[in-house]
């Protein structure tokens, strides 16, 4: 019970920390648009997103080591945990060479994709500095962060990351206000990365006394290549939209995409925090008591999906008013759009709908068996996005992502239930269908609310009220779908 309460408290704290990151991301984006224009904001979004997803190369190692850490920590085998840490560190350093090659190649290509008035050399330098920050993270930081997350110190890792991000934001704002060369904005990224590296390593050395770099045993990371295939596919899948928009539309359109993406990425990050906070707990249970895990799986999936639907619905109802306030005074391109919030919402809902089943596939060690399915999703997204973008622009790109996500979500849920849990589980599909119907009804009725706001503060009360209503409505659906069979059995016994 105490462990469950700790997990819930840690999750709430992590969400609050991520909310601060969301606010700072909005501040930086608005400052860039106002001082340099939407095309430069689109360029920064392109650079940041490409390197963010290239950084997912580390997740092949991260997911493989997490699986081993869960086994070691469940048995309190710290010698094995130390060997896992050393193995992961070695793998991260090896992979950093691949990341460095990607950095050089991408840095020369980005100026050709995102044609800006900044000039080729400046864009090249901006890209290179962003990539160098990632290389440093791979070599010096990733192994420690993965250890912290796997051992339940996700909250501490997020706090350190937030402090580093605040430092980066302050330095970037200063460079803008002092009219320094735009390259100084990217130098701020490297300074923040060094800060995070120093704090994280010092914390880990004090917290994990059993870490011993002289230990000889090196453990082979199971299914590392399979996890890597999944993450590379995911990286290409996730960065397709911004690249296609930059190539086939314009950096201004990419800027519009990036503003909406900041909002919905924040929801996706919150969803990731919730699943990551609980995955340690349920990961230990899977290795200790699989039967108990399956019960936890259903309970968590029920709670998770209801929460995500409520969050996304609330955000989508408030989105048009929020964008109107956020882009006030910006005239180089129109950021207001009725359809974009709905399309972004569908992508987040579909992605999060499969999240728990996807976690189970990783925990149970089925990454290799499912890697081809991940490649299929990536291929569907690229082909459909490029084809549809010609005629429909940004709507076509998002439609391509939705098509690919529908395929993969259905596939992941079916695979996890049929192949791993060995059951036919239609409850999850019934719940998703009912939630989508409720989402459609609420979005149809939302214009009747006529939400008006002059500042962000004006959105707080409507946001709380709408949030309370949505969490109640989606909660009722989850209770009806998941709890009703148990209530029926109890009633029959009585």
What would the pLDDT profile of 405-445 be if each residue is shown by its tens digit? 899 899 988 888 888 877 777 788 888 899 999 999 999 99
Distances from the Cα of 240 to the Cα of 41, 378, 395, angstroms = 18, 9, 14
CA gap 213, 136 in Å, rounded: 20
Highest-pLDDT range among 291-305, 310-324, 355-369: 310-324
Can you read off the two tokens belonging to residue 91? 């793998």
Q: What is the pLDDT of residues 85-141, one digit of tens each?
A: 888 888 888 778 877 887 888 888 888 776 667 778 888 888 888 888 888 888 888
Q: State the average pLDDT over residues 28-50.
A: 79
In the prediction, which pLDDT does 24 show? 76
In the prediction, which pLDDT does 312 show? 93
In the prediction, which pLDDT does 228 show? 61
Asked whether the predicted pLDDT for residue 235 surpasses 70, the reply is no
More confident residue, 351 or 248: 351
CA gap 274, 155 in Å, rounded: 11
Highest-pLDDT range among 8-12, 213-217, 296-300: 296-300
Residue with tokens 């860039």: 32
In the prediction, which pLDDT does 455 show? 79
Asked whether the predicted pLDDT for residue 216 surpasses 60, the reply is no
Asked whether the predicted pLDDT for residue 8 surpasses 70, the reply is no
Asked whether the predicted pLDDT for residue 47 surpasses 50, the reply is yes
pLDDT confidence bin for 59, thresholds 50/70/90: low
Asked whether the predicted pLDDT for residue 203 surpasses 80, the reply is yes
pLDDT confidence bin for 252, thresholds 50/70/90: confident
Highest-pLDDT range among 14-28, 278-292, 335-349, 379-393: 335-349
pLDDT confidence bin for 490, thresholds 50/70/90: very low
pLDDT confidence bin for 219, thresholds 50/70/90: low
In the prediction, which pLDDT does 363 show? 72
Task: Give φ, ψ of 159 to 5 degrees.
Answer: -65, -45
Q: State the average pLDDT over residues 265-291.
A: 72
Residue 308: CB atoms within 10 A of its CB come to: 24
Least confident among 76-90, 191-205, 277-291: 277-291
- Distance between alpha carbon 167 and the CA centroid of its chain, in Å? 22
Asked whether the predicted pLDDT for residue 492 surpasses 60, the reply is no
385 within 8 A of 242, measured Cβ to Cβ: no
Residue with tokens 């819930």: 8
> Cα dihedral angle (170, 176, 181, 186), rounded to 10 degrees?
40
CA gap 60, 189 in Å, rounded: 24
Asked whether the predicted pLDDT for residue 171 surpasses 80, the reply is yes
Highest-pLDDT range among 194-198, 214-218, 455-459, 480-484: 194-198
Instruction: Provide long-range contacts, Cβ within 8 A and 24+ apart, for 228-232.
Output: 228/57, 228/60, 228/61, 229/60, 229/371, 229/374, 229/375, 230/59, 230/60, 230/63, 230/367, 230/370, 230/371, 230/374, 231/56, 231/57, 231/58, 231/59, 231/60, 231/63, 232/56, 232/57, 232/60
Can you read off the two tokens belonging to residue 316? 């989508």
More confident residue, 67 or 201: 201
Asked whether the predicted pLDDT for residue 249 surpasses 50, the reply is yes
Give me the chain's average pLDDT, please. 80
In the prediction, which pLDDT does 9 show? 67
Asked whether the predicted pLDDT for residue 371 surpasses 70, the reply is yes
**Maximum Cα–Cα distance for the chain, whole Å?**
77
Highest-pLDDT range among 36-40, 352-356, 444-448: 444-448
In the prediction, which pLDDT does 326 show? 82
């Amino acid at each position: 019970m105490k462990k469950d309460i700790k997990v819930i408290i840690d999750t709430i704290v992590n969400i609050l920390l991520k909310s601060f990151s969301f606010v700072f991301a909005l501040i930086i984006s608005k400052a860039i648009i106002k001082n340099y224009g939407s095309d430069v904001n689109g360029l920064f979004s392109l650079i940041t997103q490409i390197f963010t997803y290239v950084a997912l190369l580390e997740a092949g190692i991260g997911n493989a080591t997490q699986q081993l850490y869960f086994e070691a920590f469940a048995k309190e085998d710290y010698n094995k945990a130390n060997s896992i840490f050393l193995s992961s560190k070695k793998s991260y350093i090896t992979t950093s060479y691949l990341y460095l090659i990607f950095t050089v190649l991408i840095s020369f290509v980005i100026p050709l994709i995102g044609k800006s008035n900044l000039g080729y050399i400046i864009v090249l330098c901006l890209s290179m500095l962003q990539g160098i920050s990632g290389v440093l993270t791979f070599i010096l930081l990733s192994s420690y962060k993965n250890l912290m997350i796997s051992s339940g110190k996700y909250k501490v890792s997020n706090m350190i990351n937030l402090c580093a991000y605040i430092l980066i934001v302050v330095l970037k704002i200063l460079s803008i206000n002092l009219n320094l060369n735009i390259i100084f904005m990217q130098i701020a990224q490297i300074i923040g990365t060094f800060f995070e590296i120093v704090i994280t390593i010092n914390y880990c050395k004090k917290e994990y006394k059993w870490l011993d770099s002289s230990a000889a045993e090196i453990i082979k990371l199971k299914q590392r290549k399979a996890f890597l295939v999944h993450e590379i596919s995911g990286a290409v899948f996730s960065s397709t939209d911004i690249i296609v928009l930059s190539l086939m539309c314009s950096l201004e359109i990419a800027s519009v995409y990036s503003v909406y993406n900041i909002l919905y990425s924040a929801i996706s990050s919150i969803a990731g925090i919730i699943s990551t906070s609980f995955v340690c707990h349920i990961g230990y249970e899977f290795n200790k008591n699989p039967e108990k895990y399956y019960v936890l799986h259903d309970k968590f999936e029920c709670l998770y999906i209801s929460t995500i639907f409520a969050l996304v619905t609330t955000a989508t109802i408030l989105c048009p008013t929020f964008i109107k306030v956020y882009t006030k005074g910006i005239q180089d391109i129109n950021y207001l759009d009725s359809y974009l919030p709905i399309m972004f919402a569908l992508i987040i809902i579909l992605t999060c709908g499969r999240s728990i089943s996807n976690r189970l596939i990783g925990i149970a060690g089925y990454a290799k068996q499912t890697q081809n399915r991940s490649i299929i999703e990536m291929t569907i997204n690229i082909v459909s996005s490029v084809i549809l973008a010609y005629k429909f622009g940004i709507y076509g790109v998002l439609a391509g992502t939705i098509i690919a996500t529908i395929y993969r979500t259905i596939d992941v849920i079916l695979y996890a239930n049929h192949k791993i849990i060995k059951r036919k589980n239609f409850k999850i599909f019934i719940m998703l269908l009912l939630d989508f119907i409720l989402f459609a009804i609420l979005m149809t009725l939302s214009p009747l609310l006529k939400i008006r706001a002059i500042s962000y503060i004006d959105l707080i009360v409507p946001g709380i009220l709408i949030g309370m209503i949505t969490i109640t409505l989606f909660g009722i659906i989850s209770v009806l779908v998941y709890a009703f069979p148990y209530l029926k059995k109890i009633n029959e016994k009585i």
